[in-house]
Structure 1
Amino acid sequence: MDQLLSEVLGLQKVWQAKNTEEMQRRGFVVRTEIRDWLREHAEALATAMEIPLADVGVEGKDGAGQRAEVVWTRVYSKSRTPSATDGWYIVYLFSGDGERVYLSLMQGTTQWIAGELKPREPAALKKRIAWARPLIKQVASERADLLSEIRLNARTKLGRGYEPGNVVAIEYQRGAIPNSDVLSEDLLFMARLLGRLYKATDDATHVPGDLPVEVREATQSGDHREPQERPQGRPRVPPDRSRAQGHRGAQCPARHGALRGSGMDREGRRRQQAVRPASDARGRESPRGGEGDHIRWQPGGPLTGRP
């Protein structure tokens, strides 16, 4: 796995929007080889996240048509976070300059509103982070290298847009990526944090920063594909919302493996989930690997910005 991460970072150095030979190789590593390595850990990930094995999802994206500057491979709950624009997940994010890759506990930073993919409001993302961090504080305190901010050094708006969605992250710098055993330990640690958020979201009635259910229902499009997956030049066809809702509900397994009631009942319960607001907490310190302008999150510490 360390070799795969290093290879992608090297290919980031020659990024082009065109589908060059190098970009084809980068896409294969992100979409297939890293994905396959993560799938080998599916049982352990399910245990760490406290979800059924069948609910563990893994996917990688490098854009469609034009190649994305910031590529990623994520681990998620199929029933809770079917799209990278929704909910919480853990993800390997490769910086645009090829200098670092992050394993980030991330949230969706865009949303479909009235048929258009739009960035989430920064204030809403901050509210969600402020809600999430206290929930993972106990487990997160086991490590001193978690970063509250990430720096992707991206030139594109979409690439930069991932940064404000980070809850906490582990950084691996180019030339200093640990071996696969360490990467596996880090992965399962982050999966434990993700599991805490899934449980809290399941038990909640509202997550701060989310649109009210009635507003989201009235404005949200049924098209939940990633931005780079949207076919270029194809006219938008209004979705059949009744069919889309039934399909989503039917595929959402219950939290402990068995469906309770109909798919529509499950979907209704999910839409009523959320949480109580809480305070944010992070501190300033140099990350593992050296660069001092990162922010290291210290559970219980003060909220600080970049120098």
Structure 2
Amino acid sequence: MRNTLRRICELQPFYSSENTPEMKERGWLIRQELAESIRNLHEPLMHALGPFGLDFFVEGSDGIGRKTELAWTRFCSKEMSPRPTDGFYVVLHFSTDGSGVNIAVGCSSSRFHNGYSIVLPPEDLDKRCEWARRVVLEDRGSLEPFTDPNDFGAKAKLPKSFERACALVKKIGFDDITDDIAKRHLIEAAEMLRAIYTAQHQGRELSPADQTELDILDITRPASNARTGQGFGLSANERKAVELRAMDIAEEWLLSEGYKPTNTAATKPYDFKASKGDVTLFVEVKGTTSDSAEAILMTHGEVALHREEKGRTALMIVTGIRLRRDRDNPEAVGGILEPLIGWDIDGWLLKPTAFRVSRGGN
């Protein structure tokens, strides 16, 4: 691998968008030699990826048609990142001046939202990278040694977007490139990627509304494989564990505030009827593994309740619930409560997600 990485660095200063002899050689090294070198490390890399290493996948590209400033070779879980435009992966980019190779944990510039894959504006791409860094920091306690700038010297628009999508970067200078150093940092990157995949698998990157929309897509468009395409979504047991954890946290808060809560989740379009003196609250609880809750999903009955009883309802959102153990016997822990007492539903933006369509208009 050392000779391949160094040779690509040597070719970088000769970059041309045309298929010059130097670019032909670079393309072969990127797509074939470097990709094969990474495949030869499949055992330690698959081990570092854990359960996400079973469909270990490697590919490289030096541009479609015209050659790109930032040729790349990447590896990933095929399920979690079926294309370079989907998900997170480990990617190798080479500084345009030939000064070194940049091993990065990067992401696509699009993600699932409102039922579809959308292209992210730059500020949202930055937030996505920041989310990935938080996940890795939480998992490992440090981002070292992947703290180098994501500036590889690109000038064109698309290569600049490649740079921006690199959340964690370790640059190996030309003179420091060795097989052992490259292998060590690739394994470290794979371990970081595993943490991100685990967080995605638990729905932490998706809003509660997006998580539920995936369930709807599974029913209405089963052939689309919306969930399995990037490994998103919780099992029925995991969703139940998250729901019960959120209910426990909400009930504890109500009791601490002097309310007497009655669990009505099985019979009413709200989860608790909470009384304190002559005050009665109708409480809706939404629990999620997501790290944020900028959007939630509600049924028609829940929306009607919050409008009809405006001023007498509460929305309690519990984010950041974590799952432990396996999917068949999950344990939900943690969670951050946001209690919205007297919640005004009309202060939020309502968008239809799905419609019940009946024959005969009934």
What letter is aligned with 1:177?
D
Aligned residue in 2 for 1:51: 51
Q: In structure 2, how many angstroms separate the alpha carbons of the residues matched to 1:144 and 1:253? A: 27
Cα root mean square deviation, aligned:
3.6
Higher percent of residues as strand: 2
Q: In structure 2, how many angstroms separate the alpha carbons of the residues matched to 1:214 and 1:55? A: 26
Report the 3-state secondary structure (helix = DSSP H, G, I; strand = E; otherwise coil) of the residue aligned with 1:98.
coil
Contact 2:203 2:232 in 1 (8 A): no
Contact 1:96 1:159 in 2 (8 A): no
Which string of whole-angstrom CA distances, capped at 9 and with x for unpartnered residues, describes residues 104-129 of structure 1? 0101125799xxx9962122122222
Count of residues in Structure 1 that have an aligned counterpart in Structure 2: 233
Which string of whole-angstrom CA distances, capped at 9 and with x for unpartnered residues, describes residues 267-289 of structure 1? xxxxxx973149xxxxxxxxxxx
Aligned residue in 2 for 1:276: 291
Aligned residue in 1 for 2:68: 68
Q: In structure 2, how many angstroms separate the alpha carbons of the residues matched to 1:214 and 1:73? A: 34
Aligned residue in 2 for 1:18: 18
Aligned residue in 1 for 2:4: 4
The alpha carbon displacement at 1:101 in A equals 1.8
1:245 pairs with one of 219, 224, 231: 224
Question: Could you state the TM-score of these two structures normalised by the residue count of structure 2?
Answer: 0.56
- Structure 1 pair 5–83 and aligned structure 2 pair: CA distance change class (3 A): same
- Structure 1 pair 3–150 and aligned structure 2 pair: CA distance change class (3 A): same
Question: Could you state the TM-score of these two structures normalised by the residue count of structure 1?
Answer: 0.65
Q: In structure 2, how many angstroms separate the alpha carbons of the residues matched to 1:201 and 1:143? A: 19
Q: In structure 2, how many angstroms separate the alpha carbons of the residues matched to 1:190 and 1:103? A: 8
The alpha carbon displacement at 1:251 in A equals 7.9
Aligned residue in 2 for 1:128: 128
Aligned residue in 2 for 1:100: 100
Higher relative contact order, structure no. (Cα contacts within 8 Å, ≥ 6 residues apart): 1
Instruction: Trace 1:152-191 onto structure 2 (pairs within 5 A).
Output: 152-174=152-174, 176-191=175-190
The percentage of counterpart residues that share the same residue type is 26
Report the 3-state secondary structure (helix = DSSP H, G, I; strand = E; otherwise coil) of the residue aligned with 2:150.
coil
Q: In structure 2, how many angstroms separate the alpha carbons of the residues matched to 1:134 and 1:249? A: 24
Q: Which consecutive unaligned segments of at least 5 residues does structure 1 have?
A: 217-241, 261-272, 279-307
The alpha carbon displacement at 1:149 in A equals 2.8
The alpha carbon displacement at 1:63 in A equals 1.0
Report the 3-state secondary structure (helix = DSSP H, G, I; strand = E; otherwise coil) of the residue aligned with 1:50.
helix
The alpha carbon displacement at 1:252 in A equals 7.7
